[in-house]
Structures are given as structure tokens and as C-alpha cells.
């Protein structure tokens, strides 16, 4: 396992759409393990393969609290099949370090995908899990949280990312 580099906005690779995964191979399992290590080290609650420069339809989510056991969920070739209601959530993103913004999303989603073993599953999610599924799914579509805000907030978010990058230098 290895910690991978997370791409930061405005890296153009974040706009790449993920391509469907074929079989669950040992290489894919190794990528999943790398992604989990990267996500936990960041720390974050979700990570899409496109965020580490791997343009495949794969993301991970673990919304367990610090005092709870891990609840890592793997979504291979996910498809959101239903969106119901509305909720607004203060979201962050590992590709936008130091930035949070209120984003309006569906309150409940249904998603179908394959798990780490390649077994198909369906999930109905609400609350933070629904937000995380939609957020990571957007990454696979080349969409970012900045695409969900107006022009003024886009400029503010971009400036915050620039300031954070300068602090890291």
C-alpha cells in the first residue's frame, strides 16, 4: 500500500471522466488499498480515483466518526439510480484543501455498484452518506464542488485554494 498524491484544483485532470472498470483484478485491489490509505492519511471521508489521477469509475467512502470502527465502502462502476428531496450540507473536498462550502444536493439517493470483491450491491443513502456518494460520483463525471456554486463563490473558493497552496510551499 502507498499514499498517493491527491490532485488539487485547478489541475485539469480533475475534469477527466472515469472510465468503466472491467474485472476486479489484483491491480484494482491494490489501487483500492492505496486509495484507502491516502484517504485516511489526508484525512477525508471519501476519495475518487480521478482525484489521484486514475481515470476509472471507482470511489471509496468511510463516514465513521473518529470514535467508531471503520466503515469503508467501495463503489466500483457506481450508478446513481434515484435522487429524492433536497438538503444543503457544508462540504469539503480533498482536492480543495482548506475550503468548505454549502452545497445543495438530493436528500436521499439510491446507488448501485460493485464492491471490492466485484459483487453487485444496491444502497439507499441519506444524510452525510448521501452527500458523500453524490460528491464522489460527481468526481467520476468530471464535476467538482465548485461547479455547484455561483460566480462570486467560485472566485472566493479559487482564491482560498491558492492561499492554501502558498502556505504549503
> What is the set of active-site residues?
136
In the block, residue with C-alpha cell 471507482: 58
Q: Which of 89, 133, 122, 126 is nearest to 107 (CA)?
A: 126
Sign of CA dihedral 65, 69, 72, 73: negative
The 3-class SS string of 78-139 reads EEEEEEECCEEEEEECCCCCCCEEEEEECCEEEEEEECCCCCEEEEEEEHHHHHHHHHHHHH
Cis? peptide before 146, omega within 30° of 0 = no
What is the C-alpha to C-alpha distance for residues 157 and 108, in angstroms, rounded to an integer?
27
Sequence-ordered list of residues with C-beta below 8 angstroms from that of 54, at least 6 positions apart, any chain: 31
Amino acid at each position: 500500500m502507498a499514499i498517493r498524491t491527491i490532485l488539487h484544483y485547478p489541475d485539469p485532470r480533475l475534469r477527466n471522466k472515469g472510465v468503466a472498470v472491467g474485472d476486479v483484478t489484483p491491480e484494482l485491489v491494490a489501487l483500492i488499498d492505496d486509495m484507502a490509505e491516502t484517504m485516511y492519511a489526508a484525512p477525508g471521508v471519501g476519495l475518487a480515483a480521478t482525484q489521484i489521477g486514475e481515470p476509472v469509475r471507482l470511489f471509496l467512502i468511510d463516514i465513521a466518526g473518529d470514535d467508531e470502527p471503520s466503515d469503508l465502502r467501495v463503489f466500483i462502476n457506481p450508478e446513481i439510480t434515484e435522487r429524492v428531496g433536497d438538503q444543503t450540507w457544508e462540504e469539503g473536498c480533498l482536492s480543495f484543501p482548506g475550503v468548505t462550502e454549502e452545497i445543495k444536493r438530493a436528500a436521499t439517493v439510491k446507488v448501485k455498484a460493485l464492491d471490492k470483491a466485484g459483487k453487485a450491491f444496491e444502497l439507499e443513502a441519506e444524510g452525510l452518506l448521501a452527500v458523500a456518494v453524490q460528491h464522489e460520483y460527481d468526481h467520476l463525471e468530471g464535476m467538482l464542488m465548485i461547479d455547484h456554486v455561483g460566480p462570486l463563490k467560485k472566485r472566493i473558493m479559487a482564491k482560498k485554494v491558492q492561499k492554501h497552496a502558498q502556505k504549503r510551499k
